[in-house]
Chain A
Amino acid sequence: MSAPTVRLCRSGLDLCNGERLPLWSGALHYWRVRRDRWDAALAGVRDLGFGAVETYVPWGVHEVGPREFDFGEHDPQLDLGAFLGAAQGAGLKVIVRPGPHINAELTFLGYPERIVADPAMQAITARGTPAFLPLPPRAFPVPSYASTRFLEEAAGWLRAAARVVRPHLHPAGPVVAVQVDNECALFFRGGPYDLDYHPDAVAGFRTFLQERYHVVEALREAWRQEVDFATALPPREFGAKAAAELVPYLDWVAYKERYAARALGNLAAVLHDEGLGAVPLFHNLPPQDPAAAGLPEIERVLDLCGVDFHNVARDYERIRDRVLYLCGTAALPYAPELGAGAMLYGLAVRPEEQAQVILAVLMHGLRGANVYMAVERERWYGAPLGSDGSLREPLGPFLKRLGAALRETKLFELGRRTVIGVVVPPVYRRLATATQVLDAGPPMVLEMVNLGAAETCREDDFGLQGPVQIEQAQATRAVTRALDRAHLPYVIVDGAADPVKLAHCHVLVCPTFDLIDRDVLQELGYAAEAGVPLLWGPRRPSLDERLLPASAGLPGEPFLTPALLADPDALGAAFASLGLERPFAAREPEVDTTLFEGGAGAARVLFVGTRSPQPLTAHVPLAAGTRLRDLLGDEVLAVAGEGEVAVTLPAYGVRMFAVEAAAAGEVPRV
């Protein structure tokens, strides 16, 4: 293990030399930008206000023969070392993403064809077939990330790439972070009984069971079957009729959350071997539910796991929920890809809308992002810079102004007070996933039409008091929407995350029905003993994730009664009665405000945004002697005395203001 030369910190990266670098970067693909334009393109990235440039390193492009690589020895366009040197010359740090999977809209997602063509390395479906990924220009069979042979081949590639990168690591060079693989989530085929049934994946499942149950008697008690660790088989389709039969399905779903982490841990070990562990190693999940893709598991083997955001403005609520999940669950809320422009075969995206998305993720607490793409390239449209570094409308001028605003306000160094943690026990989402009827429907595609796991699962109650896999998701949504209406800041904490995440919350809200995970029950008990208010309900859970009697009860009586959950106004009023701070709460329930504070709680930056599909005027309270200055425009809003200011917002719009005193002195909170 190398001694770290760069560490994660609250505001981005600590360069261990007294300097902190905001994780605010732009993507440029060196092999797709003519080498004689690298300097101009890098200067363009720097002039947009980015402190770092990010690039993939494509295996399939650099491999010129089996396990033979060209890093510029033959084709100067592939001279990765020269590119890293050019970035350093431009005054930029670099984030490197060497795969093995990179997507980047490359044919076969950046893998050499020999890798995807080899049956021994292919993922296998429950039907015994290779798993084809239908992406243009042609579908191809995806590799199995459990396959030992695939992981060995990937390790060979990573070692070769790492040897080029290593001399360029900070502090001698510009490389400050390395991403391990890309969107490792079974290639968007996240259905529970779709894949992966490769023999090495089945072996991994058995190892997982052994780690989970330790002794065969515990496995048999949970599975209600005479199985053992050496022969247990993963389910290939759902067949449970009663609650007691659910455990093998829940275990398979839990294993699939760990599947990616196991592979990423293997790949990260290679990078550590090659000395790249001196800088943070991270991963990015695709724009889908990060809990189901195993984000908490991935953060057990890497420094950080972020989520990509390739959204449109109307996704405002989903964006907010996801960022609040990252704020409550991840080591650092970070977007390794924040869409600027788009690939051709997804939804048609207007780059103007993406400005709203970029503001929305910052508003709700993202602490860093890589704008993807910063520089135009093949199979992409709408990037803010041309390949010659020229500014392109509309995102170029927007990002330039935003970069200046981020520098002026030091946004990523500011804090946001969120005292409420909404805790989600994983057993419910695992049950929703295990009971999917649209098994082959890619979660990312279903999400585009607003269909999450709880919308597409079976509606059976399995003998419980209701279909808890649906009820719990509905209750969680009722809670978060009520908190929004009450203008109370909160985060979403995955019950599978490191328990330390709960320590940041002063109030815990946990919608519960019949089930609760053992670990979550224990941690909630500790929090309640420490005096943290615990608001749970509507049902007292009586069974754990093995569908065995829960070891203890939750303290007190249910707060989230059925009547409250059915009445958003009453639930909002119940939360408001807790007497918690509601800074700059707007008059309109569909308007959100988020306040970022500097030292001693001084208000610095205020975002005002709306989930309304119609333009509206929000009314935001403002103290006398205070003004709001639009950081992306010229408007200054102030009131003569105590009162409120009118903030005009487009549909799903977000605005970013500096909170300033009209005269010298600190700004009062509202």
Chain B
Amino acid sequence: MFSRDVNVHDIDARHYVNLRRLLEPEYQAYRAGGGKALPLVVILERGKPIKAVRADRGRVPLADVRWYGPGAMERARQENGGAFLLAVELATARTALREIEERVRLEEDGVAQALHVARVLQAHAGNGIYLSPRVLGGVPVPSYEAVQRTFDLLYPDERSVVVYVFERGEIHASLIAAKRRGDITEITTHLALGG
């Protein structure tokens, strides 16, 4: 889906940053001093919390962490505050890393590699990797072939996708992508058109 030699050029800095802001509203709100608290990560060793950190806030004293076991993640998330709670058993993290690195291949497309990661994480979800809300649950991870076929149907070869976002008559963000032989081969912005 992504050519290993994808040509990314003439990226208008303002357009690109504006686009990222549109795609990451929560993070941008946080950076601006608002938004919800960032995720709390609890590290477990044989079921017992040994470390808790909140992104950007640093270490959370273990005495301050509310933890009722993996069966009560939603309650723990609510009582600890924040939009997201992740708890990881140390031994599971090591196993998952090993499984990922055994499956990923150099010759694979980046999306195929990412799907391996998703499959491994999903296999351990609820069994050493606990999340609230349960974003890894429910939907099965599709095969790479199915993703590629869908991508090809939605976005045929030898075409370009052009995205412009306007605000008060001005171009706020732009992104142009070209596709060949199943892969995105070129990414640029309005700047490449002389803008």
Contacts and interface: CB of A to CB of B under 8 A. Distances in A.
Contacts of A116: 106
B62 A459 contact: yes
Contact of A237 (B59, B94, B106): B94
A107 B4 CA distance: 7
Interface in B105-135: 106, 108-110, 113
B2 A125 contact: no
A451 B8 contact: no
Interface string B76-93: 000000000000001001
A379 B3 CA distance: 13
Interface residues of B, number: 45
A107 B50 CA distance: 38
B2 A381 contact: no
B21 A348 contact: yes
B31 A314 contact: yes
A457 B50 CA distance: 9
A353 B62 CA distance: 36
B181 interface: no
Interface stretch (B11-19, B66-74, B143-151): B11-19
Interface in A188-243: 237
B20 interface: yes
A132 B8 contact: no
A440 B4 contact: no
Interface stretch (A134-142, A404-412, A503-511, A590-598): A134-142
Nearest to A238: B90
B98 A127 contact: yes
B29 to A, nearest CB: 13
A455 B13 contact: no
A472 to B, nearest CB: 14
B8 A378 contact: yes
A107 B5 contact: yes
B36 interface: no
Contact of B9 (A237, A378, A451): A378
A351 interface: yes
B98 A129 contact: yes
Given A137-B3, A451-B58, A456-B51, A131 B101 contact: yes
Interface in B121-177: none
Given A129-B102, A137-B6, A348 B57 contact: no
B33 A613 contact: yes
A125 B50 contact: no
Interface string B32-67: 010000100101000000110101111100100000
A455 B98 contact: no
B51 A137 contact: no
A615 to B, nearest CB: 13
A425 to B, nearest CB: 21
A449 interface: yes
B53 A139 contact: no
Contacts of A141: 106
Looking at chain A's contact residues, the main secondary structure is: loop
A376 B24 CA distance: 25
Given A381-B13, A437-B90, A438-B43, A470 B21 contact: no
A382 interface: yes
A381 B98 contact: no
Contact of B58 (A107, A134, A455, A459): A455
B17 A349 contact: yes
B60 to A, nearest CB: 9
B51 A458 contact: yes
Nearest to A379: B8
A449 B55 CA distance: 5
A575 interface: no
B50 A139 contact: no
Central interface residue in B10, B11, B13, B90, by most chain A CB within 10 Å? B13
A107 B100 CA distance: 20
Contacts of B3: 137
A380 B11 contact: yes
A368 to B, nearest CB: 25
A442 to B, nearest CB: 13
A108 to B, nearest CB: 8
5 contacts: A138-B110, A139-B104, A237-B94, A378-B9, A381-B11
Interface of A: 107, 113, 116-117, 125, 127-132, 134, 136-141, 237, 314, 341, 344, 348-351, 376-382, 437-440, 449-451, 454-459, 470, 613
Q: 3 smallest A-B Cβ distances: which pairs? A: A348-B20, A129-B101, A381-B11
Given A134-B113, A378-B7, 6 more contacts: A107-B4, A113-B106, A125-B98, A132-B101, A350-B13, A459-B51
Interface of B: 2-13, 16-17, 20-21, 24, 31, 33, 38, 41, 43, 50-51, 53, 55-59, 62, 90, 93-94, 97-98, 100-102, 104, 106, 108-110, 113
